[in-house]
Structure 1
Amino acid sequence: MDETTRRRSGSETKAEILRVALEQFTERGYEGTSIRDLAVTLGITKSSLYYHFANKEAIVRALLDGRRDEIDDLIAWVDEQEPGADLVRRAALRWVESTGRDRVQGMRFAHANRPIMQKLAAEGTDRRSWFDVVVDRVLPQTTSRAERLRAQMAFDTVSAALFAAQGTGASDDDVLAAARDATVRLTGA
């Protein structure tokens, strides 16, 4: 059996559904993409897709769970570091440097699909608040509100750069370079 006719495992199918959904939701919008559209693109039946995900919102929740795992990994890394004045910079740069195609695509999705993101945030799935835990770990309790805000901004530079780059033709590399620079500037002495 060649690679094109090989049956995917359940985990491979689920990963492929998430990949295709992220692309389609970003390009066509969450509301503009149906389960049928996803199934056709994937070459599977709607019932096969429903076997893995109850609905489109469940797909978005699974995509966000992947982002939550990345935050948890960053928190674990921070917990292993020596405290110091440069910890916020090291942690924020680690976050920016670890940004790959999937995370950039996820941020584009979030920018393009505000209604579903706001709905999930209202239900307790606010991805921006996840960084509060990181900021709490990298800054002393006595840090001023302005310094805390700068730290939170340092962890959000890729998203800000993507927003600023809309309609400019900037590449992902341009966006990441701008994010790195902004992170350094925000976390400077």
Structure 2
Amino acid sequence: MSTTRRPGSETRAEILRVALELFTERGFEGTSIRDLSEALGMTKSSLYYHFEGKEAIIQALLASRRAEFDELLAWLDEQEPGPDLLRRAALRWVESTGRERILGMRFAHANGPTMTRLAAQGGNIRSWFDEVITKILGPDAPMPSRLLARMAFDTVSAALFAAQTQDASEEDVLAAARAATVALTG
């Protein structure tokens, strides 16, 4: 019997996907390397070959998220300034939200202490929006305008929070986020 080996990048992606699901479901602290290796059907040593530990997995997830912000910043550099730029940028952010980002937001909601620790280590995702907002509104924008812009980018998270006790699909969440973004930027 031969086994098919997948490329390391595919294995890493699968580890990240499964880890995010387990960290969200059981909590970061409540998920062990053994839990991850069993869920992945691999040995702990194979898992350690790809990641030094759970902290390294979280750092890889944060790096992926940072790349999404960098893509948004690059897109903003190509846009003409105008009164609709906030709406276009915030809707672009909502529309680019996929399953992995939704899982990441659910992880953040479920793992407050871990997110606080990561923020202290430079992984404060919310602060990354400051650069986006400054690029859109300028450095001297008044605080109420900056807060409104931040809210426009935070609609998916807000919709996920509102959906916690509801039977809402991911598409329902994204539809609510789109509507909220339009209302906030109108």
Q: TM-score, normalised by structure 1?
A: 0.95
Matched residue, 2:86:
88
Say yes or no: does 1:77 pair with 2:75. Answer: yes
Provide, for residues 158-185 of structure 1, a one-character-per-residue CA deviation record: whole Å limited to 9, x for no partner: 0011011101111111111111111111
Structure 1, gaps ≥5 residues long? none
Alignment of 1:110-125 (within 5 A): 110-125=108-123
Alignment of 1:2-81 (within 5 A): 5-81=3-79
How far apart are 1:11 and its partner, in Å?
A: 1.2
How far apart are 1:30 and its partner, in Å?
A: 0.9
Separation in structure 2 between the aligned mates of residue 142 and residue 119 of structure 1, nearest angstrom? 30
How far apart are 1:140 and its partner, in Å?
A: 2.8
Separation in structure 2 between the aligned mates of residue 101 and residue 41 of structure 1, nearest angstrom? 19
Task: State which of 152, 170, 177 in structure 2 corresponds to 1:154.
Answer: 152
Matched residue, 1:174:
172
Q: Which amino acid aligns with 1:78?
A: L
Provide, for residues 104-138 of structure 1, a one-character-per-residue CA deviation record: whole Å limited to 9, x for no partner: 11111111111111101011110001111100111
Q: Which amino acid aligns with 2:113?
A: P
> Secondary structure of 1:14's match?
helix
Q: TM-score, normalised by structure 2?
A: 0.96
How far apart are 1:141 and its partner, in Å?
A: 3.1
Structure 2, gaps ≥5 residues long? none
Separation in structure 1 between the aligned mates of residue 112 and residue 51 of structure 2, nearest angstrom? 21
Separation in structure 2 between the aligned mates of residue 80 and residue 70 of structure 1, nearest angstrom? 16
How far apart are 1:102 and its partner, in Å?
A: 1.0
Identity of aligned residues (%): 70
* Equivalent residue pairs, number: 186
Separation in structure 1 between the aligned mates of residue 140 and residue 56 of structure 2, nearest angstrom? 40
Provide, for residues 3-53 of structure 1, a one-character-per-residue CA deviation record: whole Å limited to 9, x for no partner: xx3112211111111011011111111111110011111111111111111
